[in-house]
A and B are shown apart, each in its own frame.
Chain A
Amino acid sequence: MNHDSHPAPGNFLTKYVFSGDHKIIGIQFLFSGLLFWILGGLLALGVRLQLGWPNQALNELLKWFPSLADSIPASWGSRISPEFYTMLFTMHATVMIFFVVVPWLGGAFGNYLIPLMIGAKDMAFPKLNMLSYWVLWPAFFFLLASFFVDGGAAGSGWTAYPTLSSATQNADIPDPGLDAAAKATTPTNPPSPTSMEPGLWERIKNRWNSPAAGQSGQGQVYWLLALIFSGTSSMMGSVNYITTILNCRAPGMTLMRMPLTVWGMFVTAILQSLALPVLTVALIMQFLDRTVGTVFFLPPAGLAFGNWQTGTGGGQPLLWQHLFWFYSHPAVYIMILPAMGMVSDVLVAFCRKPLFGYKPMVFSMIGIAGLGFIVWGHHMFQSGMDPRLGTGFMAATVLIAVPSAVKIFNWLATIWGSRIRFTSASLNALAFISMFIIGGLSGIYMASTPVDIYIHDTYFIVAHIHYVLFLSSMFGIYAGIHFWFPKMFGRTMNDSLGKVHFFLTFLLANGTFFPMHILGIRGHPRRYYDPTIFDWLASVQPLNQFVSICAILLGLVQVIFLANFLFSIFFGPKSGRNPWEANTLEWETPSPPGHGNFETTPIVLHGPYEYAVTTAINGRFSQTGLNRDQIQQGNHP
């Protein structure tokens, strides 16, 4: 579109740092996601450490890792404190959702693949695209800085329900002693020493402190800022994706010839652009509640914490939940739909067989997205919302399971009668399907309102969300990285190591998350620091320990992936243009593609999944109709 106004970059800075090239931006998202993935994983291990051995003093661990002593001080018994624990799971979820999965799927793969797959030279708005990455940096700053403020990083859950997250005094609280002293002094008798008077920044920070919990204070403010920036970034990305997909497709690339990856990104972008403003508004409202004393989420009578009273309010804590879930339920689909598309593409390339039911796959994606807007209330069945609303949300939620089931069946039919090559990429894609079945089925329990009464906020939910987000989305991401790595870096990842990593991850991830279903069925509430104080949970503590051991091993196993990834960038065997013999447009470019992507504008003649074609020379039609040799030589007509 306006690619001509976007010249090829000249120097290092414009080429690799402040680049408008969608491929560089995609890789930037990929790498920053990778760093936060490590951080989020370590936070999760902290959670499991506490839950597996809730009464264990960690003095032995401290001898090996003395740097932990600040977080687990001896004066608090050399153990993880309840506040530190709430911080661990809150920041784990925040990092993984907003700084890993969303940037990876939308930012990294979306940026990298959309223009390549639709035959465009670049994104419609390269500058906006660059901005969408750099707006993430303030978010990184606030997120990381929040670990170092008074009271620690946010600890009111990634859902940040008021009034735990939003309670403040709503007034500037001077130090009581100094305030009284100032009143007692006369102009001739000034208070001394005046240097004890707190500075402006100190007073602002004090004002953010919360009587509800230490982490609900300054850490929560930083958390809100981080999320506002990260939301802005996603918003810019999604606007760009929609425009690019609608306007920049190559000749012949009709909507119904787009690969499912692009469809996934497209539907996701629409979801994001409609839902994110609501979350942003909610975040700003909570930010105002915390900082300037509005009372959007404070009930009329105010609150009492011990003998501390907040001021009177006039708002409603439930409002936050509606606004939050209006975004955050679609966010679940934002974190799975692109992965579904990617998995379809990966699967088909290794099955060597057309995708079964292309149109139903597309329509089910659209159906999931459409229904996704009217099911947010199923997170709130027990929240005190009118139960009659619950009935409606149950009906919508039950309906949304149908398109998901359709997708599963179509994948299965694609595999049926195919000839699968087992590579790291295809195995991860297959694992996505298998695990998404479990994640989908466990979701039905929550859709049924009466069962949700019991299951709500137990480990069953934790199991479900991890089956969908870890065992599905992350396997989709692993598949995508293995699959598109040659295109991104011109080299292939080590397949044996990839298989070892897949084997161990598949085993350990199931060992980590499946027993959580049992914990949930027993009624183990989530976000518990020490479940052993309950008699009825004593019987599942061995399971908790098993889960923790699996989780720690799972964390270690990811080192294999990380090493494979990093070393293959520099030392992996060189790959040609199309190492997987796939049909979609990105494989017709050099690996990695140069600025402007395509040597000549591709003309699309076929759909993306023309495999097992007996009349074609290679048994397939690429989308442009070029054969293997023509593509390898870059020999475009």
Chain B
Amino acid sequence: MFGTLIHSFHNWFFGRQIPAGSKGRKNQWFREPVRFGAVLVLGLCSCADKEGYPDDLPYPQRVDLIVEEAPKLSPNNPSPPGGLEKSIANLGLVGGKILDPVKLPEATQTEITKLLAEQFGTPAQPRVGDGKTNLPELGKKLKLDSQTLAQGSVAYRRNCLHCHGLSGDGKGSSGLWVHPPPRDFRQGRFKFISTNPAKNLNRPRREDILRTIRMGLHGTSMPAFGILPTEELEALASYVIHLGIRGEVEFTIEKTLLKPQSQVLNLFENYLPDEEVSKDQETLAFFVPKFLQEIVRQYHTAESQVLVPPEYPFKDSELSDSIRRGFRLFSSQAPDALGCVSCHIDYGRQSPWQYDEWGSLNRPSNLTAGIYKGGRRPLDLFWRIKRGIPPSKMPAATLTGEDEGKKTWDLVNFIEALPFPATLPEEVRNAVYGSTGRIAKPN
């Protein structure tokens, strides 16, 4: 075979006649390289630069570990770059609980994948709901129609995919190496939200997601995308919600079914307590659309549940006093104060690392640096204080009484002034920066 190849090439190459095999075999030598060339050249020249995902690409099934419960302890350092997955695998050793979705029976895994594909489509044709339920109405209000989602999918692929990954798992090529890791949308949980805590809704408003996309998260690797066209931003927010819902359905089912002796009925009991289910309805096929509907309803409710801040009560001349009161609320452990310093140790300069819901490590913000992940506007600070950051350990402020609003604004004023020693009243400045006038490290 090899001899024939050399002979035929030699004949052609040097134009000399050397006896070779049959004519049919003589021409075989160029088949492979020619095919290689033809595929490469014709394939590339003919294809337009197509935006968006290929049509036959499905959402990948979840195979990475589920963090059911994050450990309570505070390690000394964050996980090394690229080490998140290993770190999560070790969580069980330090008091966390992890579940492995691959351990589900294969039939269940297949069923989940099939149901998710039915309800959420593919990256190229994303949708929320299979069109049979009454989602269209709520979905339209939340801009979850398939047209917006398709637009969002294209924009997401261009702008977000490299960090947040195809299914929103936060494990894109760039995302593996940044710290904190990019948000894994698949638990449907978002950190910086502005809904009223009284309603017990841990859902973001669209506006919260939009703010994060527009302004980025200063202090993380999330860039600001504010100069994208408005409708692209809106489409991106819709697509992020879509990924969040899809992931949450998957996450919830897997988390529940992975527990020992659990069954589909537990899903209904835990997540759809009002639903009357008959025995033959205890199937995932029945649960998924119902649960999806419930999540969409919650997102929809959140839209109208913004936590409205009370009117700002102070004149400019009262600012110093307000900062003093805010300082006391922040640093005192008295029962009527908040004692924020117990986590934001040394005003955040020595904050300890803590696990958040996703099993990654974060620490209470260094408030002397003037870097606020959730936004630097007074309103943003107000929401962070009053709403907390539920998925990490930051609790909502428990201020009570009729001057609750005033107290919150005191705290906002103090936090706003904290990075600027010159604007702090003298005793506050001495307490925070010492009498030597040490200033925050420039950044």
A contact set with B: CB distance below 8 Å: 49, 52-57, 59-61, 64, 74-78, 81-84, 150-151, 169, 173-181, 184, 191-192, 196, 206-207, 209-214, 217, 301, 304-308, 494, 497, 530, 532-533, 541, 545, 548-549, 552-553, 556, 559, 563, 567, 571-573
Contacts and interface: CB of A to CB of B under 8 A. Distances in A.
A57 B443 CA distance: 39
Contacts of A81: 162, 172-174
Contact of B179 (A52, A307, A545): A307
9 contacts: A81-B162, A177-B75, A209-B82, A307-B180, A533-B158, A533-B159, A541-B49, A549-B44, A556-B37
A212 B220 CA distance: 13
Contacts of B33: 559
Interface stretch (B52-60, B251-259, B321-329, B379-387): B52-60
- Residue among B83, B173, B176, B221 with most chain A CB within 10 A: B173
A150 B173 CA distance: 12
Interface in B66-89: 71, 73-83, 86-87
Given A209-B82, A209-B83, A305 B178 contact: yes
Contact of B173 (A60, A84, A563): A84
B393 interface: no
A103 B86 CA distance: 41
B418 to A, nearest CB: 18
A176 B82 contact: no
Contacts of B161: 76-77
A571 B14 contact: yes
A206 B74 CA distance: 21
B365 to A, nearest CB: 9
Given A308-B81, A548-B44, A83 B173 contact: yes
Interface in B266-323: none
Interface string B413-431: 0000000000000000000
B334 interface: no
B10 interface: yes
A74 to B, nearest CB: 6
Contacts of A210: 81, 177
A175 B179 CA distance: 15
Point out which of B49, B91, B161, B353 has the most chain A C-beta atoms below 10 A from its C-beta: B49
B179 A54 contact: no
A541 B234 CA distance: 27
Given A150-B82, A211-B177, A548-B44, 19 more contacts: A56-B47, A57-B54, A59-B54, A64-B39, A74-B60, A76-B162, A169-B80, A176-B79, A177-B90, A180-B75, A209-B177, A212-B177, A214-B81, A305-B221, A308-B179, A532-B49, A533-B158, A559-B33, A567-B9
B198 interface: no
A305 B174 CA distance: 13
- Main DSSP-derived SS at the B contact region: loop
Nearest to A167: B81
A177 B65 CA distance: 16
Nearest to A555: B40
B157 interface: yes
Interface of B: 9-10, 13-14, 33, 37, 39-41, 43-45, 47, 49-54, 56-57, 60, 71, 73-83, 86-87, 90-91, 93-94, 96, 123, 157-159, 161-162, 165-167, 171-174, 176-180, 219-221, 353, 361-363, 441-443
Contact of A61 (B43, B353, B441, B443): B43
Given A76-B173, A307-B179, A151 B53 contact: no
A278 B74 CA distance: 45
Nearest to A52: B44
A54 B77 contact: no
A83 B174 contact: yes
Nearest to A173: B80
B179 A181 contact: no
B386 to A, nearest CB: 23
Contacts of A494: 13-14
B169 to A, nearest CB: 8
A306 B13 contact: no
A306 B79 contact: no
A248 to B, nearest CB: 39
A552 B40 contact: yes
Nearest to B441: A301
A179 B76 contact: yes
Given A180-B75, A214-B177, A553-B41, A75 B87 contact: no
Contacts of A545: 49
A84 B49 CA distance: 19
A138 to B, nearest CB: 26
B87 A176 contact: yes
Contacts of A559: 33
A194 B53 CA distance: 44
A47 B290 CA distance: 47
A85 B162 CA distance: 12
Nearest to A171: B77
B93 A196 contact: yes
Contacts of A54: 49
A25 B78 CA distance: 51
Contacts of A173: 77, 79-80, 83
Contacts of A306: 178-180, 219-221
Given A60-B43, A151-B177, A75 B77 contact: no
Given A77-B53, A77-B57, A191-B93, A53 B174 contact: no
A549 B37 CA distance: 12
Contacts of B96: 177
A56 B52 CA distance: 8
A77 B157 contact: yes
A55 B53 contact: no
B96 to A, nearest CB: 8
B362 A307 contact: yes
Contacts of A82: 162, 173-174
A457 to B, nearest CB: 20
Contact of B166 (A75, A548, A573): A75
A350 B221 CA distance: 61
Contacts of B43: 60-61, 64
A255 B365 CA distance: 71
A559 B34 CA distance: 11
A207 B83 CA distance: 11
Given A56-B47, A76-B173, A567-B10, A176 B353 contact: yes
